[in-house]
Structure 1
Amino acid sequence: MGGCQPKIIITDQDKSMKSVVPVVFKESTHRLCMWHIMKKLREKVSYQLFQDEDFKTRLNRCVWNNQLEPDEFEEQWGKIMTDYQLVEHEWFSDLYDLREQWIPAYFKDFSMSGLMRVTSRSESENSFFDRFLTPHLTRVEFWVCYESALEAQRQNSPN
C-alpha cells in the first residue's frame, strides 16, 4: 500500500479480523460488509419469513438506504422488529448492536456508500460464479463453465 493506510477496511464479521484490523491499520476505520451480513438472512430467519417479500423489501429499504439519518434508521428498524416479532431475536439484536459498523446512516462522514454497493455487487458476482467454477479447471473447462454461468444468469434476468 506504499506506506499509506486505507481510510476504510471492509470485512465480514470474522472475529480475528475484528481484533487485527485496529492493530495493523491504526489509522483506518473498520466497517462490516453489508452483503455478507444480509446473505445470512436465509439461515437466520424462518423459511416463512424469508419468503415474505414485504419483510425483505422493508428490511432492505431500511438497511441499504444511504439517505436515512440514524434516528430514521432506528425508527424503521424498530418497526420491522416489532411487526415481525423479531425484537427478542438474538441475531437481529446483535446486528442492531453493531449498526454503527455496517449501516450507512452511521458513517455519512465517509463518502463510501458507492463503495459499499460496489463491494456488495462484487461479492454477489463472486458468489454466483463460484457455483459454476473451481480453481482447478483447464482453460477450455473454464470457458464452458463460464458460458453456462452466463446462460443461467440470462435465463434468470428479469427482462
Structure 2
Amino acid sequence: DRNERRRRMLEALEQARVPEPEKRAAQYPHQLSGGLRQRVMIAMALMSRPRLLIADEPTTALDVTTQAEILDLLRTLQVETGMGILLITHDLGVVASVADRVAVLHDGVLVEQGEVLQVFEEPRADYTRGLLAATPRLEIGAPA
C-alpha cells in the first residue's frame, strides 16, 4: 500500500545516506546537489533489492570529496547487502581504487580483462597501454 511504499522509499534514502530523507523526498531534482542526486539514484536502485547494481559513471561531474563519498557508499552497500557491483567508468583512478577486476573495452569490443593490478602493471593490449599512459600522475617533489 501507499504507506508501505513510502516507508520503503525513506528506508532506501537512509540506506543511501541521504540526509533528511523526508525533506529530500519532497524536493525536485534541480533542488539537489550532484552528490545528492547520485545518492537518490542509488536509493532508487536499492528499492528492488538487486543482487547486482550496475553503476554507469556514478562519479562523473562530482568534486573529488563527493566522488570519494559515493565510492565509499557503494563499497559499504556491497558489504552490507552482498550485492555485486558492475562499475562502468572512464576514470582509471576510480577503477584502481575500488575494483577487483577490470575489463577494458575499445569501441564496444573487449580488448583486455583481469585482476586490476595485473592489467595496470602489465597491460597486454595497445589500447590499455595508451589509456594508462594518458592518465595523469602526481609526482611529489617534481618541479612545477
- Measured against the shorter chain, the TM-score band is under 0.3
More helix by share: 1
Question: TM-score w.r.t. structure 2 length?
Answer: 0.26
Higher relative contact order (CA 8 A, sep 6+): 1
User: Structure 1 length normalisation: TM-score?
Assistant: 0.24
